[in-house]
C-alpha cells in the first residue's frame, strides 16, 4: 500500500511538473488602479489554488472548534453520569 501511495504521488508530481513546463509563458494579472503582476501561468494558478485552500480551511475552523467544544462537554457530561451511577450503586 505504501508503494502505491508513493507511486501515485510521483505520478501526480510528474503531471504537475509537465503542466508547469508547458505553461511557462508569462501572463499579467491586472488589478485596480493600473496595478499588475507578471508571472508564469503555472505559478499564478498555484498561488490562487493555495489561496483557495487557505480560505477553505479558515472557513471550516469555526465549525471544527465548535464541534470540539461540544464533544468535550459531552465527554464531561458522560463522565459525571458514570460517576453518579457508580456512587448510586455503592461502587
Q: Comparing C-alpha atoms, which of 46, 44, 66, 43 is closest to residue 54?
A: 46
The residue ranges of every structural domain in the chain are 2-89
Task: With cut-offs at 50, 70 and 90, classify the pLDDT of residue 91.
Answer: low
Task: With cut-offs at 50, 70 and 90, classify the pLDDT of residue 24.
Answer: confident
Q: What's the average model confidence in pLDDT over 65-81?
A: 93
pTM of the model: 0.61
List of residues 6+ apart from 28 with CB closer than 8 A: 36, 37, 38
User: What is the rounded distance in angstroms from the CA atom of residue 26 to the CA atom of residue 40?
Assistant: 4
Amino acid at each position: 500500500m505504501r508503494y502505491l501511495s508513493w507511486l501515485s504521488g510521483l505520478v501526480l508530481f510528474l503531471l504537475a511538473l509537465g503542466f508547469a513546463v508547458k505553461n511557462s509563458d508569462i501572463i499579467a494579472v491586472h488589478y485596480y488602479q493600473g496595478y499588475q503582476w507578471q508571472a508564469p501561468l503555472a505559478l499564478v494558478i498555484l498561488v490562487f489554488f493555495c489561496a483557495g485552500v487557505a480560505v477553505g480551511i479558515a472557513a471550516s475552523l469555526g465549525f471544527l472548534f465548535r464541534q470540539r467544544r461540544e464533544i468535550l462537554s459531552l465527554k464531561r457530561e458522560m463522565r459525571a453520569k458514570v460517576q453518579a451511577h457508580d456512587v448510586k450503586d455503592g461502587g
